[in-house]
Structure 1
Amino acid sequence: MRYLILTIFFLSFFTACNSKEDKKEKENELPIEKPEPIVKEYGFTFNDYEVVKDTIKSGDTFGAILSKYPLKDSLKVHNVIETIRSSFNVRKIKAGKPYLFFLDKKKPNTVQAIVYIEDRINYTVVDFRDSIKVSNNQKPTSIKRRILATEINGSFSETLNKAGVSASVAPKIASVYAYSIDFFKIQKGDKFAVILNEKYIEDSIYVGVESIEASYFEHKGKKIFAFPYKLNENQKTGDYYDENGNGLKSMFLKAPLDYFRISSRFSGKRFHPVQMRFKAHNGTDYAAPHGTPIKTTATGVVERTGYTAGNGNFVKVRHNSTYSTQYLHMSKILVRNGQSVSQGQVIGKVGSTGLATGPHVCYRFWKNGVQVDPLRMMLPNSEPMGANDKQKYLKHIEPLKKELDSITAVKFKE
């Protein structure tokens, strides 16, 4: 028994000693410093510089921004601006845009470079390290093709959100079918499919939809296909057509203004408020504040611009061999004779020039050389394709149509 007690005592003693020694060793251990993460962006390794981020304020100039820190080799701000002027228009910097200073860690805060960030992709570098150099750059982007097919459940935006699609896609698709579908009246069970291309920065940061290759909408049992197509190379974006080459949008906008009040309609006999007599009014007056943008209601060519005592500043656009439109009483004309214009393009500003009692645009409409009331007419959809264009179009959409048919057949089995 005595031997057992001695054994327990010695074991307890040595355990306690070892525990104290372990504790002392741990107390003497230095904390392990984690290495600073390497940050690389805009062509610079941030760790090599003192990096200062700021935002352009209202009233800031590029010269004032550069003056915040000393420049190397006694460079003068005005000399720098003159040197970079041909590559970087410093007058176009905008309030709210971020910028970065890369400062030398050894020489107290000397500017090595400045980066102006235009948007998530585009940026400009003004580099002072060797000689003054300017480079306008883009972050590397990639395009990923995506196919989506789903049934409507809730609003269109809610349906897309449930499918994991960015909210920015909904208005793009809605604009494709703006003349075909009332999106306030879509209902549960309507079907939708789209082939789209999405843009990513460095394969991971979502930017938005780059383009829509094809789409399909089944609304109240009616199937509507949409394919973008450019009839000529001068078009910035293609118009949308169905599987037979028929345009999906109306050839004419409903009005030349976004926001307006009809102050006088087309009439064979109207009392003229300036001339104080009854006469024909071969146009529709849209009242709006002075300076409101006036849009051409259809694609065409500017046939004439000018000024007359009655019309004031005006623009006349010829759309094809059948239709022409004219826009009167402008405060400012923004197009020239012979210029091609696209539907919705701003061609002038609302004014009250000529015989006018207040700011408005008088919108005049010709069919086969005769002035008519567009509000009482059944206006055509987009101008139909010629036979040659239609043949090319049908060949272009053939593989896309087959792909959509295959997608919808699998997804929407009846």
Structure 2
Amino acid sequence: MKKLGLLLILMLAFVACNDEEKDQAITEVKKEKLAPIEKEYGFILNDFEVVRDTIRSGDFFGAIMDKNGVEPGKVFEITESVKDSFNPARIVAGKKYLLLRAKDSARTPQYFIYENDKINYTVLALGDSIYADKKKRPVTIKRREVSGVITSSLSEAMQAQGLSNLLVYELSNIYQWSIDFFKLQKGDQFKMVYQEKYIDDTIFAGIEKVDAAVFKHSDEPYYAFRYLTDTISGQPSFYNAEAKALQSFFLKAPLNYSRISSRFTRRRFHPVQKRWKAHLGTDYAAPHGTPIVSTANGTVIASSYTSGNGNYVKVRHNSKYTTQYLHMTKRNVRNGQTVRQGDVIGYVGSTGLATGPHVCYRFWVNGRQVDPYRQNLPSAEHIEDGLKEEYFAYIKPLKEELEQIPYKNI
């Protein structure tokens, strides 16, 4: 009887263990079925073996394909097939890419996905059907309001609010003709209404546009409203509360994020030549490689090098005005080229007679070198009288929105 009882207990234990194993197996199957589906770039990544990488310096498309098992003949066929829509030879170091392989024994590469930027990407099909398809990631626009106060610099004011440095560029770009950003004062305040871009509703992808702003400098409010008057070009401009253009014929300075290290003067002790002489330009000290822009539309009349000027560019804007930019590490334009206001014409360096990285900005009026800060320079066109009523109606709600944003104080 005891043996029978023991046998019964063992049988019950076996059945329990077997049921437990079955339950565990069912749970594991359920977990597999509940595995999240990962979608990106229009593909279900679960269907592929995914290789994520970044283009490195010295990498080229053929080498990347060879490393992943694509024969040279196939690489040539791919390159020739897509050359009119995508040039694999122009992939750039630092850009991310994905390689999607088939889940088979050969792990054959099916797609090469190249990120042109945060939003735009190119899908390169590598199979029997070869093609290049340019696509965009889904982008949402979010409207924001911000207020800040200057304690030492505009960039620090933005950082104090946890804001993108892109807003520094946007704000300085809007007001570069009306506010001297080298003379900002502690306590100056600003407010903005702007739009940000987000990928998949979560990843910040930059500033879409600034709709309206007000910058209180030396207790004077400078309003700015984005408004389209040129329907031919489709390019909006910024105007103030009186319908006057903020843009000037000339920019205040040929570069951002710098300081004036030496002003225009008839008598200065030259730091290299060690003698007193006229300094007929304005020096802007800035980090090596900082972009230098043309301060107005014009034609390049010199892009050259001399022992004194180093690498330099000279631009004629019209029969009256000419500007020159000295000591570049690299020139970005050629003689005879047409440039527009804000185009990058070179990069800050210390070539020629220079003790450190800076650009010497020179300004001519009717063939005579002058101090640009002492000139009454022309402005861009204002809104015509016949269009002002429409403009004022457009900016009214924007101005009211700005007024509702409280100013930040120190």
Q: CA deviation at 1:301?
A: 1.4
Post-superposition CA distance 1:131-178 (Å, at most 9, x none): 11111221122323x2526575986336634xxx65643553354345
- Equivalent residue, structure 2, for 1:55: 54
Q: Is the 8 A contact 2:298 2:317 kept in 1?
A: yes
Residue type matched to 1:300 in 2?
Answer: N
Post-superposition CA distance 1:11-47 (Å, at most 9, x none): xxxxx9xx98996555652342321222222222212
Q: Is the 8 A contact 2:331 2:345 kept in 1?
A: no
TM-score by length of 2: 0.70
Residues 1:140 and 2:135 are matched in the alignment: no
Query: Which segment drifts farther, 115-124 or 294-303?
Result: 294-303
SS in structure 2 opposite 1:299?
coil
In the TM superposition, 1:247-396 aligns within 5 A as 247=246, 251-254=250-253, 267=266, 283-284=280-281, 295=292, 298-302=295-299, 304-305=301-302, 315-320=313-318, 322-327=320-325, 334-337=333-336, 339-343=338-342, 345-346=344-345, 363-367=361-365, 369-374=366-371, 377-380=373-376, 383-386=378-381, 389-391=383-385, 394=388
Q: CA deviation at 1:49?
A: 1.7
Counterpart Cα distance in 2 of 1:148 and 1:257: 24
Q: Is the 8 A contact 1:253 1:344 kept in 2?
A: no
Q: Is the 8 A contact 1:196 1:214 kept in 2?
A: yes
Residue type matched to 2:40 in 1?
Answer: E
Which consecutive residues of structure 1, in runs of 5 or more, have no partner in the other structure?
A: 1-15
Post-superposition CA distance 1:271-314 (Å, at most 9, x none): 9x99xxx9x9683385999x967845521312633779999987
Q: CA deviation at 1:102?
A: 1.4
Q: Is the 8 A contact 2:185 2:218 kept in 1?
A: no
Change in CA separation of 1:60 and 1:114 when aligned onto 2, cut-off 3 Å:
same
Change in CA separation of 1:313 and 1:216 when aligned onto 2, cut-off 3 Å:
closer
Residue type matched to 1:41 in 2?
Answer: E
In the TM superposition, 1:11-50 aligns within 5 A as 25-26=19-20, 28-29=22-23, 30-32=25-27, 33=29, 34=31, 35=33, 36-50=35-49
Residue type matched to 1:118 in 2?
Answer: N
Change in CA separation of 1:219 and 1:304 when aligned onto 2, cut-off 3 Å:
closer
Q: Is the 8 A contact 1:216 1:223 kept in 2?
A: yes
Q: CA deviation at 1:363?
A: 5.0
Change in CA separation of 1:392 and 1:335 when aligned onto 2, cut-off 3 Å:
farther
Q: CA deviation at 1:227?
A: 2.3
Change in CA separation of 1:28 and 1:313 when aligned onto 2, cut-off 3 Å:
closer
Post-superposition CA distance 1:96-142 (Å, at most 9, x none): 32222211223421111121223321211111333111112211223
In the TM superposition, 1:144-155 aligns within 5 A as 144=142, 146-148=143-145, 150=147, 152=149
Query: Alignment RMSD, CA only?
Result: 4.9
Counterpart Cα distance in 2 of 1:169 and 1:90: 34
- Equivalent residue, structure 1, for 2:75: 77
Q: How many residues align?
A: 378
Q: Is the 8 A contact 1:313 1:333 kept in 2?
A: no
Q: Is the 8 A contact 2:174 2:246 kept in 1?
A: no
Query: Which segment drifts farther, 358-367 or 205-214?
Result: 358-367
Query: Which segment drifts farther, 199-208 or 260-269?
Result: 260-269
SS in structure 1 opposite 2:76?
helix
In the TM superposition, 1:217-228 aligns within 5 A as 217-219=215-217, 221-228=219-226
Change in CA separation of 1:251 and 1:48 when aligned onto 2, cut-off 3 Å:
same
Q: CA deviation at 1:211?
A: 0.5
- Equivalent residue, structure 2, for 1:405: 399
- Larger Rg, first or second structure (1 or 2): 1
Q: Is the 8 A contact 1:304 1:316 kept in 2?
A: yes
Residues 1:202 and 2:200 are matched in the alignment: yes
Identity of aligned residues (%): 27
Q: Is the 8 A contact 2:215 2:221 kept in 1?
A: yes
Q: CA deviation at 1:254?
A: 4.3
SS in structure 1 opposite 2:64?
helix
Residue type matched to 2:400 in 1?
Answer: S
Change in CA separation of 1:89 and 1:64 when aligned onto 2, cut-off 3 Å:
same
Residue type matched to 1:132 in 2?
Answer: I
